[in-house]
């Protein structure tokens, strides 16, 4: 409506149109332009709400505008009952906590403000607390206050309540700290019964708290990090001075640790494992020599190339033609000689660069 407030019909003679037709300000043309630009194209919920409200919109536009100039109040609050005035909430539009003029003292938000839902309770901004957000929250102190505004700032990190930003202005400490002469001193939970770590863990004190960390794998119970802080050595380790060190089972035993054929011992942290000797692999639980399986011997024609196949086909057809010619001549010696020559040419061409393999095949009985 604001966008179209100063526009006209857009025709050639706006003065004539406004004189003869309805004023653009209250015209149906303007209403259509307003409705077309209300919702973004992809906002389905907006289009759905507009469709449900279209009759109300038209009624206000043509009949209620003079009596109810506040379109938002008339449509959203009175007709559709979806909204409440600022500073109110719920089905009956009750005042928010802190009053409708300045809900939550201006330091938070009222749950459900402006809607027909919510609780009306305050959700305070960081640094503020109390039912009306009119106090400084935990870890903050009051910098200034007047009738309309409260300003809070953060305390020293260890302080739960304070009078200023210094570490000596604490009134109460956060958890994990203890107050001593208005200063918060870190509690060493590891030196008290306050720390609770699982078995095979040790305690590390931190600022305001503590951490539980795992002992070394060499330890069964420990007092700190590393194999020198073990209470007892784990299996596969033995104490050497203050440390629990790994036992090399592969070299410490007089008898072979790994008894399988072609097996060797490999030491690990806290133990050992049996692996196959170099050049061997484990198959079906046994270490065997790592060599590829024997390949089947190639046949005489396995290495024939595609080019050689083409040549063989051509020679075969040549032999067939010669044979047919010989038969046609009814045994004539000339054609018989041609046939024998073709066969010899074919064999010579094909065997010339393959004679070594042919002889090798015959020697092997193939």
- Cα 162 versus chain centre, distance: 42
Cβ contacts of residue 51 below 8 Å, gap of 6+? none
**The pTM is what?**
0.55
Where are the CATH 2.10.25 domain residues in the chain?
248-292
Q: What size, in residues, is the chain?
A: 366
For residue 291, the model assigns a pLDDT of 82
For residue 65, the model assigns a pLDDT of 86
Sign of CA dihedral 306, 310, 311, 315: positive
For residue 2, the model assigns a pLDDT of 81
For residue 322, the model assigns a pLDDT of 64
Q: Which numeric CATH code is attached to 248-292?
A: 2.10.25
For residue 30, the model assigns a pLDDT of 86
Per residue of the chain (366 residues), give pLDDT as tens. 888 877 665 555 556 555 544 577 778 888 888 888 889 989 999 999 888 888 999 999 888 888 998 989 999 999 889 999 999 999 999 999 999 999 999 999 999 999 999 999 999 999 999 999 999 999 999 999 998 899 999 999 999 999 999 999 999 999 999 999 999 999 999 988 888 999 999 999 999 999 999 999 999 999 999 999 999 999 999 999 999 999 998 887 778 889 889 899 999 999 999 999 999 999 988 999 888 766 666 665 566 677 666 666 666 666 666 666 666 555 555 556 565 656 555 655 555 555 445 445 544 444
Pairing of strands 201-206, 209-214: antiparallel
């Amino acid at each position: 409506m604001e966008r179209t407030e100063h526009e006209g019909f857009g025709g050639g003679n706006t003065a004539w149109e406004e004189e003869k037709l309805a004023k653009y300000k209250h015209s149906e043309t303007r209403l259509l332009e307003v409705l077309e630009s209300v919702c973004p194209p992809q906002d389905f919920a907006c289009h759905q709400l507009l469709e449900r409200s279209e009759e109300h919109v038209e009624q206000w536009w043509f009949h209620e505008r003079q009596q109810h100039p506040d379109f938002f109040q008339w449509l959203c609050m009175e007709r559709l009952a979806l909204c409440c005035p600022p500073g109110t909430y719920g089905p009956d539009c009750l005042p928010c906590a802190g009053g409708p003029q300045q809900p939550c003292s201006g330091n938070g938000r009222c749950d459900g403000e402006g809607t027909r839902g919510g609780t009306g309770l305050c959700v305070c901004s960081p640094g503020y607390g109390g039912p009306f957000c009119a106090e400084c929250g935990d870890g903050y102190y009051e910098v200034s206050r007047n009738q309309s505004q409260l300003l809070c700032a953060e305390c020293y990190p260890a302080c739960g309540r304070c009078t200023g930003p210094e570490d000596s202005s604490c009134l109460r400490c956060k958890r994990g700290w203890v107050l001593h002469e208005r200063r918060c001193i870190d509690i060493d939970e590891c030196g008290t019964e306050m720390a609770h770590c699982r078995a095979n863990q040790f305690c590390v004190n931190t600022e305001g708290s503590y951490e539980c960390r795992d002992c070394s794998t060499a330890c069964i119970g420990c007092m700190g990090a590393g194999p020198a802080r073990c209470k007892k050595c784990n299996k596969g380790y033995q104490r050497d001075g203050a440390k629990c060190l790994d036992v090399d089972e592969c070299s410490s035993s007089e008898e072979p640790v790994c008894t399988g054929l072609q097996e060797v011992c490999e030491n690990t942290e806290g133990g050992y494992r049996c692996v196959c000797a170099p050049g061997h692999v484990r198959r079906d639980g046994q270490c065997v020599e790592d060599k590829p399986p024997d390949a089947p011997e190639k046949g005489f024609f396995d290495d024939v190339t595609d080019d050689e196949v083409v040549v063989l086909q051509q020679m075969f057809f040549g032999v067939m033609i010669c044979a047919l010619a010989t038969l046609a001549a009814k045994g004539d010696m000339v054609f018989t000689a041609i046939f024998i020559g073709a066969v010899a040419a074919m064999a010579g061409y094909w065997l010339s660069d393959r004679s070594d393999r042919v002889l090798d095949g015959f020697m092997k009985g193939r």
